[in-house]
Amino acid sequence: MEIYQLITLCVILFFAAMVQSMVGFAFTLVALPFLLFAGWPLPQAVAVSTIGSTIQRLMIVSHLRNEVDWWTLRPMMIVGLIFLPIGIFVLREVSFLSRDTVKQIVGFLIISVLAVQWFAKIEPREAISKGWGYLSAALSGLLTGFANIGGPPIILWILAHRWQNEKMRVTSLAFTLAFVPFQIILLPMIFGKSILIAFLSAIVLTPIIYLSTKIGLRVGSMLSRRHLRMSMQGLLFLIAMISILKPILGR
């Protein structure tokens, strides 16, 4: 890896980790399009974001582990794991498309996630049907396998509960951690040694992710989470539109 590529990767992972530590989501939603812009193929970009986000998830979950309802999450994790290989199969098929097409697909995915967050009317309640939890888990496994963006479906399920902020913040991170060992095994099996190099690149930058997480947690505690979320959603929308329109306007 050239020095400028390493610097670019440092900046991307630093920014993505800061966003997630401030608002509780969006590591891969931020990192993936920037990695594609920087020239990373989609499977390798997914691998980098998987390890980078895992490092941060482990930090946050270990800190808030007592807030996680593992008993409730365990059957949902099993459902998600069933759908994870399907998502990885979709990733393999999409990886054969042109880079511009891949960018547009990622852009549309980001827009879809934002649209659900903007327009879904979710009223918190004491308990909800288990079926909604299993549906969220299946979608989470599918999207994790495809692009490591399994958080949004679980976040929508979380928002339907009357939980404290700490529990809401950590649950999606704890849930998606169950997928990581299988991602680490399946991605190199399907895409080869380049995935191992991508994994190693993210592991080497653990200090950068750690530092960014500490800064992001402190900044996030000082600012309004509502305004932070609105700002990050606006940024994600801009990134998505560039991903979708640039290949068209550049022709």
13: left (phi over 0), alpha (psi -120 to 50) or beta: alpha
Q: What is the pLDDT of residues 74-120, one digit of tens each?
A: 999 999 999 999 999 999 999 999 888 998 998 898 888 888 777 77
Q: Tokens 């080869």 map to which residue?
A: 192
Torsion from C-alpha of 47, 243, 211, 73, nearest 10 degrees = -60
Residue 104, domain extent: 3-249
Nearest to 198, CA basis, from 98, 52, 78: 52
First to last CA, the chain: 30
Tell me the pTM.
0.86
- Tens-place pLDDT, residues 2-26: 788 889 999 999 999 988 887 767 8
Domain count, the chain: 1
**Closest of 68, 67, 78 to residue 134, by C-alpha:** 78
